[in-house]
Amino acid sequence: MSAPPTTRLDVTAQEAATICAAVRSADLSLLSPMHRIAGPEHVAGLIVLLSDPAVSDPIYDLPRPFTPDVIAGWISDARNKQTRGEAILAVTVDDQESVAGYSYFTIWPERSAAELAGAQRADAQGQGRGKMGAARSFGWIFEHLGVRLIGLTAARDNARSARVIEAAGFIARGERQSVRADGSTRLSLYWELTRDQWRNASQAMT
């Protein structure tokens, strides 16, 4: 179960409403031409993707088991949440339109905050795509969805995720308990990044 960032920003009702509207009409083509909003047509592909432990084991907030009913329910729940401005479940597809990865954006409009979880197929891991794709997603959350704070967690032994997160400029904020869908807990590393920090770092690089 996703939890909002520890830091709490002051957010006006107008800012929250603007974020809700941006989430409802989110344009995934700004992320890549291979991104799609997850729909019933992706159930089978998501099951294949997530059934690989190299993909799903590090992720605490996936619904389990990976059966057609559970995954179809996850997709339809995310669609309902998107209409409320609270989530976007996206898949990436390969050139055969097979599911090659997923991203789950959780948004708390009233806190101007977001979290991102995701994975790509094992044969695409470790080739530098994660770092690039994650950086693009963080920029999209800040600039397209209009959110001002992102909080991220990763399992303590997930070195690749930590590299991806810290390369994007996130600041380590210690550890937090993550709660899995079945109620069990996992101790996670925790990071935060604000939109101002992101913009300053992006400007420094240009």
Ligand X SMILES: CC(C)(COP(=O)(O)OP(=O)(O)OC[C@H]1O[C@@H](n2cnc3c(N)ncnc32)[C@H](O)[C@@H]1OP(=O)(O)O)[C@@H](O)C(=O)NCCC(=O)NCCS
CB < 8 Å & 24+ apart, contacts of 176-182: 176/3, 176/6, 178/3, 178/60, 178/61, 178/153, 179/1, 179/3, 179/60, 180/1, 180/60, 180/61, 181/1, 181/61, 181/62, 181/63, 181/64, 182/64
- In the bound state with ligand X, the residue whose beta carbon lies nearer, of 28 and 168, is 168
Chain length of the chain: 206
CB of 131 to ligand X, least distance (A): 3
Residue, CB closest to ligand X: 130
Q: Nearer Cβ to ligand X, position 68 or 126?
A: 126
- Is 109 a binder of ligand X (CB under 6 A)? no
Question: Among 45, 85, 130, 169, which residue interacts with ligand X (rule: CB under 6 A)?
Answer: 130
Per CB under 6 A, 103 contacts ligand X: no
Choice from 158, 176, 180, 192 touching ligand X (CB under 6 A): 158
- Closest to ligand X by CB, 43 or 164: 164
Cβ contact 191:172 at 8 Å: yes
Report the alpha-carbon angle 180-182-187, nearest 5.
30
Residue 32 beta carbon to ligand X: minimum distance, rounded to whole angstroms: 14
User: Which amino acid makes up residue 128?
Assistant: G
Q: Cβ 21 to ligand X, closest distance in Å? A: 28
Residue 154 binding ligand X, by CB under 6 A: yes
Instruction: Provide the β-strand partners of residue 151.
Output: 192
Strand order through the sheet with 99-108: 35-37, 87-93, 99-108, 113-120, 149-155, 185-194, 171-179
Distance of CA 185 to the CA centre of its chain: 19
Q: What is the footprint of ligand X within residues 110-129 (CB under 6 A)?
A: 117, 119-120, 125-129
Q: Binding to ligand X (CB under 6 A): which residues in 54-73?
A: 55, 58-59
Q: Enumerate residues 175-194 that contact ligand X by CB under 6 A.
A: none
Using CB under 6 A as the binding rule, whether residue 164 contacts ligand X is answered as yes
Residues that bind ligand X (CB under 6 A): 55, 58-59, 117, 119-120, 125-131, 154, 158-161, 163-164, 167
